[in-house]
């Protein structure tokens, strides 16, 4: 058993636990605990992702996406990757100060900072803590490039700042759209923005001159894959400049949670869905290996790639890669600030 939480194995009973803890008609109650981080930039050397540094100002995610590959990270806190992950959250209130300090280090070399790599930077508690905005303000002051990945239209609350950074080629945004079916989205991603609001966010960002792309992620075979063409058509019409996709990944405790979700919402096809998912990952629920974990294999994977490529072309999405400018970087003093643009 990982990290010593005895109750974690029973975490697949998340639906029953919700009723016991919160009552059948009540909403889940979110608790947020502040943690004192010593650093804020996380580094990685993974060959599978296009960035080497990221910031996660929050741990856990209120969106409650059942498929979220980050759920097992809550085990490090001896909390469950199920209900705890989406209701017992952590915030790092000193994120902006720490970032300013780290950017001012003499040995620091700029490269795009990724926001939204583990939990969503615009989940609902951002409305209270505003940590993502504070981080963007530091990046704007230092003219440091940043990428944002989110499934929340709340990103538009920072449109003024993002637009200003876009004028200097310092920001790119990716909006994740999993389905166009609001009811399906409500069960998959219960507290994320509706599909229509995400598409509206793409359009408003594009109209403001921001490099914005669409992530059709994750694709769940026999559940959401039928929407690939429609999502790309809508995103292309909204002004998306690029499009990408990721097949669903089910690491550690995510697999039993997802299986229970399938049995609850799609009992007629649950076995079929899992069989296809395993066909993408050499017969396993998940492939954790470098170089292959983000590249599903097999007939279904080839079919999705072909459909996606054709649909992206038909949607008129130019597939322009954002190449952000690192040459303008001018860090502020560790205890001071530069003027915003």
155 assigned to some structural domain: yes
pLDDT of the residue at 16: 42
Please report the pLDDT score of residue 244 as a whole number.
97
The distance of Cα 140 from the centroid of its chain, to the nearest Å, equals 22
Residue-wise pLDDT for 263-281, tens only, equals 999 999 999 999 999 999 9
Stated pTM of the model:
0.89
Q: Judge whether 84 lies within some domain.
A: yes
Question: Is residue 325 in some structural domain?
Answer: no
What's the mean per-residue pLDDT of the chain?
Answer: 90
CATH number of the domain encompassing residue 277: 3.20.20.70
Mean pLDDT, each 10-residue run in order, the chain (341 residues): 37 41 57 95 90 96 96 92 96 97 96 95 97 98 98 98 98 98 96 97 98 98 98 98 97 96 97 98 91 91 98 98 97 58 53
The pLDDT of residue 46 is 87
Residue range 95-123, pLDDT digits in tens: 999 999 999 999 999 999 999 988 999 99
Q: Given this model, what pLDDT does residue 27 score? A: 60
Residue 332: exposure state from Cβ atoms within 10 A (0-12, 13-18, ≥19): middle
Listing DSSP states for 14-70 in one string gives HHHHHHHHH-TTSPPPPEEEE---S---EE---TTSS-SEEE-SEES-TT--TT-TT
Q: Is residue 335 part of a domain?
A: no
In DSSP terms, 214 is beta-bridged to 175, 243
Our count of domains for the chain comes to 1
- Does residue 165 fall inside a structural domain? yes
253 found inside a domain: yes
Residue 59 lies in a domain: yes
My answer on whether omega of the bond before 54 falls inside 30° of 0, hence cis, is: no
Q: Contact, 37 vs 30, CB < 8 A?
A: no
Q: Name the residue range of residue 258's domain.
A: 9-314
Per-residue model confidence (pLDDT) at position 336: 52
């Amino acid at each position: 058993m990982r990290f010593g939480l005895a109750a974690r194995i029973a975490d697949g009973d998340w639906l029953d636990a919700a009723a016991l803890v919160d009552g059948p008609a009540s909403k889940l109650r979110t608790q947020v605990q502040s943690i004192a981080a010593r650093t804020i930039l996380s580094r990685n050397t993974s060959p599978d992702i296009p960035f080497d540094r990221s910031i996660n100002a929050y741990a856990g995610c209120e969106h409650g996406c059942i498929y979220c590959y980050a759920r097992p990270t809550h085990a490090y806190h001896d909390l469950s990757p199920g209900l705890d992950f989406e209701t017992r959250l952590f915030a790092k209130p000193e994120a902006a100060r720490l970032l300013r300090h780290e950017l001012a280090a003499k040995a620091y070399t700029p490269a795009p900072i990724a926001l939204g790599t583990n939990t969503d930077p615009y989940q609902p508690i951002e409305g209270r803590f505003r940590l993502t905005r504070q981080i963007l303000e530091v990046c704007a002051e230092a003219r440091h490039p940043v990428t944002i990945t989110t499934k929340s239209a709340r990103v538009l609350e920072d449109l003024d700042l993002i637009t200003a950074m876009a004028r200097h080629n310092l920001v790119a945004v990716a909006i994740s759209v999993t389905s166009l079916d609001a009811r399906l989205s409500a069960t998959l991603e219960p507290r994320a923005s509706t599909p229509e609001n995400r598409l509206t966010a793409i359009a408003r960002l594009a109209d403001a001159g921001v490099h914005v792309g669409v992530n059709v992620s994750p694709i769940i075979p026999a559940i959401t894959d039928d929407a690939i063409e429609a999502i790309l058509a809508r995103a292309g019409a909204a002004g998306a400049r690029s499009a990408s996709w990721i097949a669903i990944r089910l690491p550690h405790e995510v697999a039993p949670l997802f299986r229970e979700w399938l049995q609850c919402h799609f009992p007629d096809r649950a076995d079929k869905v899992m069989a296809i998912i395993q066909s993408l990952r050499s017969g396993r629920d998940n492939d954790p290996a470098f170089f292959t974990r983000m590249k599903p294999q097999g007939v279904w994977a080839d079919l999705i790639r072909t459909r996606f490529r054709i649909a992206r072309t038909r949607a008129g999405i130019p597939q322009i890669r954002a190449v952000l400018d690192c040459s303008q970087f001018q860090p502020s003093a560790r205890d001071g600030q530069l003027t915003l643009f």
